[in-house]
Amino acid sequence: MVRFASRNPRSGIAMRRLATLLTLALALSCTRAADAQSKGAAAESLFEEGRKAMDAKDYDAACARFRESNRIDPAPGTVLNLARCEEARGKLATAWELYRRARDEFPAGDDRRDVANRFADALSARLPKLTLRLRADAPKGTIVRVGEIELGAGSLGVPVPMDPGKRELRIEAPGRRSRTLTIELAEKESRELEVGPGEPTAAGESVAADTAPQGSSRATWGWVIGGVGLAGLVAGSVTGFMVLDKKKTVDANCDSNKLCTPAGTDAADSGKALAPWTTAGLLAGVAGVGLGAYLILSSDTASGRQAVLRASPVAGGAQLNWSRTW
């Protein structure tokens, strides 16, 4: 019997492995094609829903659908429609940026490139612009946040396009308290604003000075705490007068050897019981009135005024020092 052996006995195994790899590659390619087709269908459906919402002038819904469509399957035509939607709901700076993005994404020769550029140019004259400058005392590393936009040193002193309406500015710097301002910009308005962070933070500074609520909320808490403190002062004063009255009874009914009549003994016991309440009421009252006054007077942070409450040790306890800068 004649037997023929392969010159390379491993060649059959190699061929089977190659066939397996080719099968896997083909399957993966088909899967990717199916995923891309599915994404395209979802994006197209969202785009059409966005167009329907635009026709119905439901701009919030339309913008959300255009944005989601572009997230799933980015396309400059979707960006152009999103820009039109943002402009319709008054987000002028947002729309202007989207027009410019669409213009840059359309290929040369596409008529929509010129359309996007024309819309961007027409919108630029309507944009509100805000120029921010730092005060001379602002430390290195100061940043300004306008909503979700963070402006560092390179953006300061430059007119920045903004959407019309109210904007909240937050100024932050290392080792300084943050400061929050609210401004309102109208269409075509250009404004310059000099800003800076709050006072330096300091060791031993009262927690209340850092965490107290701002503006009207801060003042409200000030009145509440001050009212409680005032009630404590009244209660401490009343019990104090009662202690003094008991002392007069003791003086009248006890001799120098501390021998007392029953009335004197009762008065002495009552005075001892009332004394701690007097002390507690007066201390709580002073603290409450002081903190309440601080919160009320420091509520106007937007005007640049700052108040600082610090505790410093003194013989037998501590004292509170309050200062205010303009």
CATH code for residues 12-124: 1.25.40.10
Domain boundaries, the chain: 12-124, 129-195, 207-325
Instruction: Give the neighbor-by-neighbor strand order of the sheet with 190-195.
Output: 160-161, 129-134, 190-195
* Architecture of the domain delimited by 129-195: Sandwich (2.60)
Sign of CA dihedral 96, 98, 100, 106: negative
Instruction: Answer yes or no: pTM beyond 0.85.
Output: no
pLDDT in tens, the chain (326 residues): 433 344 444 445 555 665 555 555 554 554 555 555 677 789 999 999 999 999 999 999 999 999 999 999 999 999 999 999 999 999 999 999 999 999 999 999 999 999 999 999 999 999 999 999 998 888 888 889 988 788 877 788 899 899 999 989 999 998 898 999 999 999 999 999 999 888 888 754 443 333 334 455 666 766 678 677 677 667 767 776 776 787 787 677 777 767 778 776 776 777 677 777 778 766 776 776 677 666 666 554 444 444 444 444 444 444 444 444 43
End-to-end CA distance of the chain: 111
